[in-house]
Amino acid sequence: MSKLNCRERFLKTMRYESVDHPPLVLPGPWPAARKRWESEGLPEGVDLYDFFELSQLKYSCLKLETLFLPPFEETILEKTDEFVIKINNKGVTEKNFLDGSSMPEFIEYPIKGRESLGWLREKMNPDTPGRFAADWLEQAKKAQADGTVLLVNGGMYFAFLNEHMGTETLMMTYFDDPEFIHEVNDLQCTLCERALTEAIGKIQIDFVGYHEDMGYKNGSMISMDMFREFMTPYYRRIEKIARPSIDLQMLDSDGNIWELIPLWLEYGINILCPMEVAASMDVVALRRKFGKELRMTGGFDKRILAAGKKEIERELERIRPVIEEGGYIPTIDHGTPPDVSFANVCHYVQCLKKMFGIS
């Protein structure tokens, strides 16, 4: 078999085709973890893939804007030696800790409910000039030639409002104003439909991508009935356009999403990540339950990466059957926290190289 690039490995792996090995995806560190690794031997500022002499699996979303246009202007509200409070480009007021030791704290959200529909319609107007970059096709062809996996956004029919309203307000709105939920999801879906229609026939799209983040440790954040009412109409619309030419659809959701998987599979969403082990997302059990219809990335317990070399080896052996079967790219099940040593990262990479036959 001739040498494959990362895009070719990704597609062959996800289609259960013969491949030299799946892409090797390195642990993505939190900023505080990166600082620790640099204090323990990683040269400052060096790219991890360059350090380990590996090709990086890269994803690129086509430059067809499917969210706010223009985005919010980032505005610094307060800055100290410990944190920065700012309005980010999503319009969310957040507090970021400068040591990179934790996720941002979200202070205020821009979408308040129906009163926000006016500016939402303006920022999500499909006819706004500049929504499609003039050279989007040229950029896409160049990225594809370089081995980058190309995707187009399929929407966020839970996560968009969750990220722009806050969970508590969103949950109340499902009951107080369900039509508002549908109006916003329709705005999103229309933008994604336009982007898909623009791209299909001009370049091969590798997958449709979704981001939902709608699971917590023990299960889904909404019921299956609510999922069917508020999400499936929009998945159905995207699938109708995508299905003839795009066979892969990937969705990112943290937490325990066991009960949601059959619903996503029903609408052609067949790759899931990051498969958090702490939330009972065991890739071995998931493959046993859903078979080869379900593809996955992630699934290596980040807590074990902090434990020790023997534990790392045992975890890789645990997931080896799914790796060998295909339809799965093993990697850490979320960002890598600062309790992980650089020595453990090196051992993890060496073990994967040995398993994949990479010298």
For residue range 45-74, list pLDDT tens digits in order: 999 999 999 999 999 999 999 999 999 999
Residues 220 and 302 in one domain: yes
Q: How many helices (H) and strands (E) does the chain have?
A: 15, 13
| CATH code of residue 278 | 3.20.20.210
Question: Tell me, what's the pLDDT at 99?
Answer: 83
For residues 326, 331, 333 and 339, what is the CA-based torsion angle, rounded to 10 degrees? 160
Which residues are CB-contacts of 229 (< 8 A; sequence separation ≥ 6)?
178
Pairing of β 249-252 and β 207-211 = parallel
Residues 102 and 159 in one domain: no
Domain membership flag for residue 1: no
For residue range 208-239, list pLDDT tens digits in order: 999 999 999 999 999 999 999 999 999 999 99
Domain membership flag for residue 29: yes
Residues 218 and 105 in one domain: no
Is the pTM for the entire model greater than 0.85? yes
Residues 185 and 324 in one domain: yes
Q: What is the Cα–Cα distance from 6 to 325, expressed in whole angstroms? A: 18
For residue 331, list its beta bridge partners.
299
Other C-beta atoms within 10 Å of 238: how many? 25
Among 92-101, 207-216, 336-345, where is mean pLDDT lowest? 92-101
Tokens of 329: 């790219």
Residues 242 and 172 in one domain: yes
Tokens of 305: 């990466």
Domain membership flag for residue 237: yes
Residue ranges making up the domain that contains 261:
6-69+113-356
Identify the domain boundary among 83, 109, 135: 109
For residue range 144-196, list pLDDT tens digits in order: 999 999 999 999 999 999 999 999 999 999 999 999 999 999 999 999 999 99
